[in-house]
Structure 1
Amino acid sequence: MRKKHNTIIIFLILIFCFLGFMGAAAYMKFKSAETNITSEYIEADNEIDEEKSAVKNLDDITEVIEEPRISTINLLAVGDIMFHSPQYKAAFNKETLSYDFTSTFRHIKKYVEKANIALGNFETVTAGEEIPFSGFPRFNTPKESLLALKETGFDILATANNHCLDHGKTGLIRTIDNINEYGMKNIGTYKEPNNNILIEEIENIRIGFLSYTYGLNGMDSTLTGEELSYMVNRIDEEKIKGDIEKVRSSDIDLIVVFIHWGNEYQREPSSYQIELGEKMVEWGANIILGSHPHVIQRSQIINKDGKDNFIIYSMGNFLSNQRKETMDNSYTEDGVMINLEIEKDFSCQQTVIKNIQYIPTWVYKYRENNKLFFEILPIDDYINGELNVSIVDSLKGRLKKSYDDTMSKMSEN
């Protein structure tokens, strides 16, 4: 009986051992599965972290390879702005005893004020009303002419021309002061030494402006030798070359030279104009704007070091009383506005002339209600019916001829 009892106890012990072993095995299997699951979660988390890191790195790369920054501005230039006696007399208001020239520019104002910089050749002086107002040969114009130019949108006026000393030192200085009074700047004539370079910065594009004239109509004697050396920029190749080099050393993107040169009423540039123009490009000028001939001369593109540079030898008369009736020369009625699109790519620090637009103009002189008017017409706008201007049939042919003559010269480059 005792033996049987012992057998039962041993059997129970074996059962408990077996159950313990099976429990331990199940526990180990469970822990192994838990470990595997945890490992999978860790691996998944690591993959997510790696993806996040990759996205972050991609963002960094995107920031590095963002679109290059580019600035674009427009520079608009016009030729000779002259005020002969019929023009300032037409601008006089007998009731207010004042002058108003604004209507002359009303049709081209939208082009001028749209430009970032607009400039032209102011071929007269504003010496003051105590000196009688006069036209050719010694100009003196009411300073309200400058107010009209300012209100039209002009920023810079070239004053180095053969009429800048028509009333001597006084006329030259007063003209500069009046230009400044109306918030504009001038180039080519100066009141003080070492002031002959104008630098303008627009949209982070730095442009240097220079201006020179071939002569002074024999009025050089109204200044002393010392005054003449700095008050008027005359064409001197060594001086021009030195000025261009000086501008180039001033962290400049572009150099503009406004130059009064050539032969009056000749529709082809002289050999000297061509020679000097090419020299100035070689020295570092990028845009050369010609005035003085009073008729339009051709333009030219010169490529230097892979970069296009622009010359127009004469932009004609933007405004004057010169015309077929007064000069027996219809070409003196013609002008052209040059709109230059300038682009700077900051990724490579390159500034180029991106586009050139030619806008032919014509000076319309007419009488209405016994009053004389002068208006500058953008010819293309008239042809397209965008101008509310009534022109007699006898003049419409001249308007179309003016457009064709101008554009034929511009296509010669």
Structure 2
Amino acid sequence: MTLLGPLLLVAAVAGCGLVPDGGDQGGGRSFTVAAAGDILMHPELIDQARKDTKRTGKGVDGLDFGPMMARIKPVISKADLAICHFEPVVGTAKGPFEGFPDFQVPPQVAKTVKDVGYDTCSTASNHTLDHGYAGVKRTLDALDAAGVKHTGSFRTKKESLTPLIMDVKGVKVAQISFAYGFNEPHTMPKDKPWLANQQSLAAIKAAEQRAREAGAEVVILSIHWGHEHQPTPTAAQISFARQLARHTGINLVIGCHAHVVQPMEKVDGLWVAYGMGNQIARHAQPTGLTEEGVIGWFKFTEHGKGHWDVQPSFEPTMLQIPPDAVNDTDGGKAAYTDDDARDYRLLDVPAALRDEDGLTDRQKARLRLAFERTEGTLYNRGAAKDGLKPMTPLP
């Protein structure tokens, strides 16, 4: 059982301190980055998109993913650069669609990613090779059609060697994307070893060097790593973060894959977000943690030529899910209660709590739990003393 009835409205952005001041604070050039976790549209979320398009009359080929993700738009769209992690493989507009283990999702998702405000997505994940070269090509073609930039998987060798560099308020910002590996039985095609980026320090250093040589002033690494469903980063993650800090010039590390929030940590001057949790996903057995995620907000300010200070903050999110009839003791015959969600909706947790009208005490408590648990997890490697703070205080 989850929460939040249909009366919950998006909180107004103006006057509520949703996005930190983008002012210069005495430095040189500056820009902001928003980054969040895995976008993984399970079959239940595709069913919700079918349901929503009947209401909205919008969408393409009977699917509208917009209402599910609309409530994070006030945050994502305000960033100078917004980075998503697009984990699954795209299929054709009318399907068939598949869930775990070999994901194949509607290309319509890419349009919603763009509409929410994302500029670019990492595409290197353990699912990148689920449908081989054809799946990689469909995925990147769909992102291109939606106007979303991407890196981490590639259609040609030339594409794999061409850095993704974006002009962000006059600063050349590169994104690179790597995954720890790929799910069996899928392996890299011998004739296309460049199809997706696999994690190694040497490969990441080489990608950063290509970006720097192409003019990048800032390099952001998106990395798919760690153990699923573990809020604590592994020893391998912690060790590799230190290698990145000591042996590369990368300016920010954004981690995904665990499907739950993991800590942030400043390592020898490098901010590492070990795991952003899910941006939106619906696992077969929701744990509470898998519905919680975080949007990281990073303000870059230049202090002297080529030196960038990064000030991090965060906004907790939560996917509300309807009751699972399979797990109901009465076989799902009971009527909805006021505490039950009717639809899948991705919530900005502080915004939801600000708009308390119509929320029950249990609903408020669940939202507060999401905020406090996310905050505690993010802080548990000492990030608070290094300046990590909420974008919006707990109402």
Correspondence for 1:401 among 350, 365, 369: 369
**Separation in structure 2 between the aligned mates of residue 137 and residue 392 of structure 1, nearest angstrom:** 37
Of residues 278, 289, 305 in structure 1, which corresponds to 2:242? 278
1:185 to 126, 149, 160: 149
C-alpha separation in 2, matches of 1:130 and 1:377? 28
Which residue does 2:37 correspond to in 1?
Answer: 79
Deviation at 1:70, TM superposition (A): 2.8
Matches within 5 A, 1:6-405: 70-92=28-50, 93=53, 98-129=62-93, 131-196=95-160, 197-221=163-187, 223-227=188-192, 229-282=193-246, 283-303=248-268, 308-322=269-283, 326-327=284-285, 329-345=287-303, 348-366=304-322, 373-385=343-355, 390-405=358-373
Structure 1 residue runs of 5 or longer lacking an equivalent are: 1-67
1:81 touches 1:318 (CA, 8 Å); kept in 2? yes
CA contact (8 A) 2:261 2:378 kept: no
Provide the C-alpha distance between the structure 1 equivalents of 2:33 and 2:364, rounded to a whole number of angstroms. 30
* Whole-Å separation in 2 of the counterparts to 1:200 and 1:328: 36
Deviation at 1:154, TM superposition (A): 0.6
Equivalent position of 1:16 in the other structure: none
Partner in structure 2 of residue 53 of structure 1: none
Distance 2:310 2:102 in 1: 40
Letter in 1 for 2:122: A
Q: Distance in 1 between matches of 2:341 and 2:318?
A: 20
Q: Specify the SS of the correspondent of 1:173.
A: helix
Q: Deviations over 1:45-79 (max 9, x none)?
A: xxxxxxxxxxxxxxxxxxxxxxx983221110001
What is the CA distance between 1:328 and its match in structure 2? 5.5
The question of whether the paired residues in 1 share the 8 Å contact of 2:271 and 2:310 is answered with: no
The letter of the residue matching 1:286 is: N
Counterpart secondary structure, 2:155: coil
Q: CA deviation at 1:250?
A: 3.4
What letter corresponds to residue 237 of structure 1 in structure 2?
L
- Match of 1:359, as an amino acid? E
SS of the equivalent of 1:230 reads: coil
Aligned-partner Cα distance in 2 for 1:318–1:237: 27
- The structure in which a higher percent of residues are strand is 1
Partner secondary structure for residue 295 of structure 1: coil
Residues 141 and 86 of structure 1: CA distance in aligned 2, closer, same or farther (over 3 Å): same
Residues 94 and 106, structure 2, Cα contact 8 Å, conserved in 1: no
1:4 aligned partner = none
The aligned amino acid for 1:224 is: P
Q: Contact (CA 8 Å) 1:340, 1:353: kept in 2 or not?
A: no
Structure 2: runs of 5+ lacking an equivalent: 1-25, 324-335, 384-395
Q: TM-score, normalised by structure 1?
A: 0.75
Deviation at 1:354, TM superposition (A): 4.1
CA distance in 1, matches of 2:345, 2:307: 36
1:97-121 superposed Cα distances (whole Å, 9 cap, x missing partner): 5100101121110111111111111
Distance 1:249 1:281, change over 3 A: farther
Residue 366 (structure 1) shift: 3.4
Q: By percentage of residues, which structure has more helix?
A: 1
Tell me which amino acid in the other structure corresponds to 2:49: A
1:371 is displaced (CA, Å) by: 9.8
For the aligned residues, what is the CA RMSD?
2.5
Percent sequence identity over matched residues? 25
1:194, distance to aligned residue in structure 2 (A) = 3.7
Q: What does the per-residue CA deviation read over 1:384-403, in whole Å, with 9 as the maximum and x for residues that have no partner?
A: 23x77x55544432221111
1:348-393 superposed Cα distances (whole Å, 9 cap, x missing partner) = 32442342111011111238899952211111122223x77x5554
**Matched position secondary structure for 1:315:** coil
Contact persistence 1:80–1:294 (CA under 8 A): yes
Q: TM-score, normalised by structure 2?
A: 0.78
| Equivalent position amino acid for 2:350 in 1 | D
- Deviation per CA, 1:181-222, whole angstroms, max 9, x where unpaired? 11111110000114332111222211121101112112434x
Shift of 1:131: 4.7
Deviation at 1:269, TM superposition (A): 0.5
- How has the CA–CA distance of structure 1 residues 391 and 232 changed in structure 2, closer, same or farther, with 3 Å as cutoff? farther
Distance 1:194 1:330 in 2: 42
- Whether the 8 Å CA contact 1:194–1:230 is kept in 2: the answer is no
Report the number of matched residues.
Answer: 334
**CA distance in structure 2 between the aligned counterparts of 1:249 and 1:172, rounded to whole angstroms:** 27
Distance 1:87 1:200 in 2: 31
Q: Check 1:371–1:168 CA distance in 2 against 1; reply closer, same or farther (3 A cut).
A: farther
Kindly tell me: are residues 392 and 173 of structure 1, through their superposed partners in 2, closer, same or farther at Cα, counting changes over 3 Å? Answer: farther
Could you say what secondary structure the match of 1:327 adopts?
A: coil
What letter corresponds to residue 210 of structure 1 in structure 2? I
What does residue 45 of structure 1 align with? none
How far apart, in 2, do the equivalents of 1:135 and 1:396 lie?
32
The 3-state SS of whatever aligns with 2:274 is strand
Amino acid at match of 2:176: L
TM-superposed deviation, 1:302: 2.3
Pairwise CA distance, 1:342: 1.1
CA distance in structure 2 between the aligned counterparts of 1:110 and 1:293, rounded to whole angstroms = 26
